[in-house]
Amino acid sequence: MKKLYINGLLIAIIFLTGCSYSVRLNQLPHLRDVAISPFENETLELYLEEELRTSLITSFRQDGRLRITYDNPDSKIEGKLIEYSNTIYGYDIDKNIEEYQVRLQMSLIFTDLVRNEVIYENKALSLVEYYSPSSVESVRLKSEEEAVKEIFKELFQVIVRNSLEAW
């Protein structure tokens, strides 16, 4: 009997320490779905708002905490792209361009439609990424497109961190 108890305990310990998956919790359990409204675009970058919206939809689908729906949603994300810039950030010793900075400034509102309250709002959210077409080791991104995609991923993380995980 003692051997059976020890074996059971060992199996439980191995099972508990061997399982290293994470459970993503929604801190607002009454929210099951989200509608992502088309973003307004005040920048000169055509289609940037569509790319951002598509990226957010994909990220929410992959995350799985909130379904995307437009028929009677529990929550809604709205936003406006205020400013976009792609500027030179650094030169090498020979004054060749070595690094660029992509910056996107936006206004964002995430609203709980069930309780009719704003979950997260930022009227001047600014996200920045760097890229280097040359082989600068400190910069992992090689193009403006990669930097923009990374900003979109970061935006999703900001939304989730300040809404679904913030409590």
The three-state DSSP-derived secondary structure of 44-92 is CCCCHHHHHHHHHHHHHHHHCCCEECCCCCCEEEEEEEEEEEEEEEEEC
Q: Using the 8-state DSSP alphabet, how is residue 102 labeled?
A: E
CATH number of 2-162: 3.30.160.150
Look at residues 98, 92, 159, 166 and name the one whose alpha carbon lies nearest to residue 127: 159
Look at residues 43, 52, 50, 53 and name the one whose alpha carbon lies nearest to residue 81: 43
> Tens of pLDDT along the chain (167 residues)?
555 555 555 555 555 555 444 445 567 889 999 999 999 999 999 999 999 999 999 999 999 999 999 999 999 999 999 999 999 999 989 999 999 999 999 999 999 999 999 999 999 999 999 999 886 676 789 999 999 999 999 999 999 999 988 55
| Domain residue ranges of the chain, discontinuous segments joined by + | 2-162
